[in-house]
Amino acid sequence: MATTHEIKAESRKDEGKGASRRLRRASYVPAVVYGAGQPAESIQIEHNTILLAAKHEWFFSSVLDLNVDGKVQKVLVRDWQKHPFKLQMLHMDFLRINENEAIRVNVPLHFLNQEKSEAGKTAGVVISHNLTEVEVSCLPKNLPEFIELDLGSLKEGDIIHLSQLKLPANVEIPALALGADHDIAVVTAYSVQEEVDAAPAEGAADAPAADANKDAKK
């Protein structure tokens, strides 16, 4: 069963750029909640609450309990705006969800036992994580916080595709329904051969010096 993550917020009446600037100066993040056939709602969240939550990958990939003035709504983080160089969240959008309708969410991949694999122990073999997250489709109650991929048996030359991921029950990868061309590589293990310059032919290194001596005698 998925862990419940609650984010506390407050409703707000003031809107506009000026109101948003005042909120940020007061250490709040202006945000909007929309969707599920209900009117959009303007809210504010303490900046430290967002800052701490954003350090965890579940904040961006899990169904959250958004508690606005004591009323809990099931939501997903849909968009966010960060300051270009400060450690500051400027704005957030939350999407309300219907618990009886399937949702599409990008879920992180956790790679296990790579260092224990044959490929991981072989010199000159590069293991590439071509994807670090994958879009899944499922009911909100079935949404996993992450998907594990065990690389313990990975060998040189191996390729692991989307279709080889072990998904929880009632969870699908929509891309796979689009055909074989969308069954892309998630992990590859390939060897890198060092290119060694060919040794110069015997006597070739002395040729320039010999030519120089000839020119000097002329």
Domain that holds residue 134: 103-191
From CA 12, how far away is CA 164, in angstroms rounded? 47
pLDDT of residue 115: 94
Q: Are 92 and 139 in a shared domain?
A: no
**CATH of residue 154:** 2.170.120.20
Residue 83 lies in a domain: yes
Q: Is residue 213 part of a domain?
A: no
SS (H, E, C) 66-97: EEECCEEEEEEEEEEEECCCCCCEEEEEEEEC
Instruction: Please report, in tens digits, the pLDDT of each residue of the chain (218 residues total).
Output: 467 899 999 999 877 788 888 899 999 999 999 998 899 999 999 999 999 999 999 999 999 999 999 999 999 999 999 989 888 899 999 999 999 999 999 999 999 999 999 999 999 999 999 999 999 999 999 999 999 999 999 999 999 999 999 999 999 999 999 999 999 999 999 998 755 555 555 555 555 555 555 555 55
Distances (CA, A) of 82 to 1, 11, 51: 32, 21, 11
In this structure, the answer to whether residues 24 and 87 fall within a common structural domain is yes
Residues 112, 83, single domain; the answer is no
Q: Using an 8 Å Cβ cutoff, are 134 and 144 in contact?
A: no
Given this model, what pLDDT does residue 1 score? 47
Per-residue pLDDT, 20: 86
Residue 204 is predicted with a pLDDT of 52
